[in-house]
């Protein structure tokens, strides 16, 4: 065969693939006038599986239409997401039997539906929460740093959240719990599509910013409260400490934002946690009575970073103590859904945001099954406990081995709500529609790949059972950086020659990903002064919402300093090189 015919055939094949990809984007998701732009790898799968997916989607659409006719509304969606929980930590009673705690209600939730064994997230909390809210990997919108006071940044107003997508579809929307998506005003939950919210702009760490923990040594002496100690004559810049931080904010869409309780006593933190639960249940009951479809993100804070005063588990770990208090609420939730008559029209998803905080974390953070933890590109950092319940729709007793990613919830929720038209088409949406996996079960995922970033670094790729660590490789030299996750679940025995058949596949996968990223470039997170627009702001918070110095007082640009300082957040990892 001459070169010219070969090129012609290749070009025709390429255009056929593109045409099929476009057709897939407009398949029985036929609600969508324009195609959603997915990650490059999705089109590779669509080119090979599009006909099957189209046939599945026809049946799925019939089923969703029948459910809407039966209940008079699209399904309610309850998304529960906690921190730092490894695969197997909940949902598998046999593991809990030797771990010193139990979660009978969460285990029953898994038994009544799906227990996902390959739910992938991002490597840490801010990243995963952004991914869930926007359906986009955090590297695409700058949300790849873990936020602490003061962040001087957050989720940009131009990002489209699940709250916005479902609000436009007529859903009541609410957020209660750990938001952790920024401390600037445009990133507030009530400015990101939620009708009502009680949220934490940061994580649980500021719950330690109190005199007791500092005196006890949980916080380094004078790091937050120098007034508790004798005066240090060498401490001549006392104004840098984040004294204006807040724990919980509350508000409604278009209304005032207020601080819930001041960060002066850990009892206020616990009351905020209690209100997360109380308000979630009240929101569900209110909208069930109004017969209005609802979406609620209940992402409970779960614990403070100081121990509970009494122990409810033999483990005594911080995470396990949190579960001992959350688990009864989950039982109350499923019971209440039945009492309200909405259980069969309500999808409940429970999951974690990333793996356990095994690096310098509190007691109880353990790997359980996979090596690594929060911040790592290893499986233990990005594979989490996850389960779903939907009586009458999701078959009970399922254990699913398909790959699903946290971004997929964005597109799946939109499909279930009939809201695909509300997803933006001017940017990459990494989340793929996994409705078939939820409704048809095992082996029906539309994903066999994961791109794993740590910060802005492309650290690893997963394709089916195979994985490649990019960060360990030496330039120009292939090494034992390939893993078979079926036979090396803990990524201990990196291989070279036996895995070389996968090398070209991974190179091409990464090339597609990066070329597509060039066409749809990444954007930065928003930046600004923190904690503005709080109606009842304390004097310390008002001070924090202003620059410490003016450009007349110092010779450098204070705005530039603010924008750059938010780029220096790092979290410790072991980089998979143990």
CB 559 within 8 A of CB 523: no
Amino acid 34: pLDDT? 61
Each as own residue / partner, the long-range contacts of residues 22-29 (CB below 8 Å, 24 or more positions apart, any chain) are 23/50, 24/50, 24/53, 24/54, 27/53, 27/54, 27/57, 28/54, 28/57, 28/58, 28/60, 28/61, 29/57, 29/415, 29/420, 29/433
Residue 349: asked if its preceding bond is cis (omega within 30°), the reply is no
Q: What is the structure's pLDDT at 307?
A: 81
Q: Which residue in the block uniquely carries the two structure tokens 């609802």?
A: 294
Q: What is the pLDDT along the chain (578 residues), one digit of tens a residue?
A: 333 334 333 443 343 344 334 443 444 443 443 699 999 999 999 999 999 999 999 999 999 999 999 999 999 999 999 999 999 999 999 999 999 999 999 999 999 999 999 999 999 999 999 999 999 999 999 999 999 999 999 999 999 999 999 999 999 999 999 999 999 999 999 999 999 999 999 999 999 999 999 999 999 999 999 999 999 999 999 899 999 999 999 999 999 999 999 999 999 999 999 999 999 999 999 999 999 999 999 999 999 988 888 999 999 999 999 999 999 999 999 999 999 999 999 999 999 999 999 998 888 899 999 999 999 999 999 999 999 999 999 999 999 999 999 999 999 999 999 999 999 999 999 999 999 999 999 999 999 999 999 999 999 999 999 999 999 788 877 889 999 999 999 999 999 999 999 999 999 999 999 999 999 999 999 999 999 999 999 999 999 999 999 999 999 998 888 877 765 544 444 433 33
Q: Which of 38, 125, 248, 405 is catalytic?
A: 125
Residue 359 is a catalytic residue: no
For the question of whether the overall pTM of this predicted structure is more than 0.85, the answer is yes
Pairing of strands 76-82, 114-120: unpaired
Nearest partner of 533 among 268, 255, 262, 272, judged by Cα: 255
Q: For residues 440 and 210, give the distance between their C-alpha atoms in angstroms, rounded to a whole number.
A: 50
Look at residue 566 in the predicted model and tell me its pLDDT: 61
Is 477 exposed, middle or buried, given 0-12, 13-18 or 19+ CB atoms closer than 10 A?
exposed
Cα 127 versus chain centre, distance: 6
Sheet bearing 466-469, strands edge to edge: 449-454, 457-463, 466-469, 482-484
Contact (CB, 8 A) for 284 and 79: no
* 399 DSSP β-pair partners: 115
Active site residue 180: yes
Single out the residue of 345, 371, 355 nearest to residue 125, CA to CA.
355
Angle between helices 408-417 and 125-134 (to 10 degrees): 30
pLDDT of residue 363: 85
DSSP string, 516-566: HHHHS---PPEE--SS-SBTT--HHHHHHTS-SS-TTTSSS-HHHHHHHHG
Containing 389, the helix (H) or strand (E) segment is strand 383-389
Question: Where do the domains of the chain lie?
Answer: 1-72
Catalytic-role residue among 38, 42, 79, 180 = 180
Q: How far is CA 219 from CA 321, 377, 566, in A?
A: 21, 28, 22
Contact 133, 177 (CB under 8 A): no
Q: Among residues 224, 204, 200, which one has the least CA distance to residue 212?
A: 224
């Amino acid at each position: 065969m001459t070169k010219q015919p070969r090129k012609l055939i290749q070009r025709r094949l390429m255009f056929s693939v593109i045409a099929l990809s476009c057709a897939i984007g407009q398949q029985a998701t036929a609600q969508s006038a324009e195609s959603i732009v997915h990650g490059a790898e999705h089109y590779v799968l669509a080119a090979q599986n599009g006909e099957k997916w189209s046939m599945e989607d026809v049946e799925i659409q019939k089923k969703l239409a029948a459910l809407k006719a039966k209940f008079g509304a699209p399904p309610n969606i309850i998304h529960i997401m906690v921190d730092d929980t490894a695969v197997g930590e909940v949902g598998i009673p046999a593991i809990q039997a030797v771990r010193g705690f139990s979660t009978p209600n969460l285990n029953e939730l898994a038994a009544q539906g799906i227990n996902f064994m390959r739910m992938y997230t991002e490597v840490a909390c801010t990243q995963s929460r952004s991914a869930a809210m926007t359906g986009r990997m955090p590297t695409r919108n700058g949300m790849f740093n873990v936020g602490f006071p003061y962040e001087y940044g957050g989720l940009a107003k131009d990002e489209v959240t699940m709250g916005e997508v479902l609000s436009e579809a007529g859903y009541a929307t609410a957020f209660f719990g750990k938001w952790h998506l920024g401390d600037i005003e445009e990133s507030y939950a009530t400015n990101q599509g939620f009708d009502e919210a009680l949220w934490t702009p940061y994580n649980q760490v500021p719950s330690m910013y109190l005199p007791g923990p500092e005196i006890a040594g949980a916080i380094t002496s004078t790091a937050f409260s120098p007034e508790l100690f004798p005066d240090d004559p060498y401490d001549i810049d006392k104004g840098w400490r984040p004294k204006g931080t807040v724990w919980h904010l509350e508000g409604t869409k278009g209304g005032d934002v207020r601080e819930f309780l001041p960060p002066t006593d850990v009892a206020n933190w616990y009351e905020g946690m209690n209100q997360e639960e109380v308000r979630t249940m009240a929101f569900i009951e209110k909208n069930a009575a109004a017969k209005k479809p609802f979406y609620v993100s209940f992402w409970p804070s779960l614990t403070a970073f100081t121990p509970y005063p009494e122990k409810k588990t033999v483990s005594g770990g911080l995470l396990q103590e949190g579960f001992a208090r959350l688990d009864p609420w989950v039982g109350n939730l499923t019971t209440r859904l039945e009492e309200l008559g909405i259980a069969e029209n309500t999808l409940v998803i429970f999951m974690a945001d990333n793996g356990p905080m095994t690096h310098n974390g509190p007691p109880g953070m353990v790997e359980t099954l996979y090596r690594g933890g929060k911040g790592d590109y290893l499986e233990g950092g990005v594979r989490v406990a996850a389960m779903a319940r939907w009586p009458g729709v999701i078959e009970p007793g399922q254990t699913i081995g398909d790959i699903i990613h946290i971004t997929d919830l964005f597109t799946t929720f939109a499909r279930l709500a009939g809201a695909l038209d509300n997803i933006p088409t001017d940017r990459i949406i990494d989340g793929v529609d996994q409705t078939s996996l939820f409704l048809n079960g095992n082996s029906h995922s539309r994903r066999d790949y994961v791109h794993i970033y740590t910060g802005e670094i492309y650290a690893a790729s997963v394709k089916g059972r195979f994985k490649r660590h990019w960060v360990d490789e030496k330039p120009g030299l292939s090494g034992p950086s390939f893993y078979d996750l079926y036979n090396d679940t803990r990524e201990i025995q990196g291989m070279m020659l036996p895995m070389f058949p996968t090398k070209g596949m991974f190179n091409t996968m990464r090339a597609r990903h990066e070329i597509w990223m060039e066409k749809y470039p990444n954007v930065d997170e928003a930046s600004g002064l923190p904690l503005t627009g709080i109606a009842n702001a304390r004097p310390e918070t008002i001070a924090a919402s202003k620059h410490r110095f003016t450009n007349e007082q110092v010779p450098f640009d204070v705005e530039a300093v603010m924008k750059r300082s938010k780029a220096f957040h790092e979290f410790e990892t072991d980089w998979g090189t143990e």
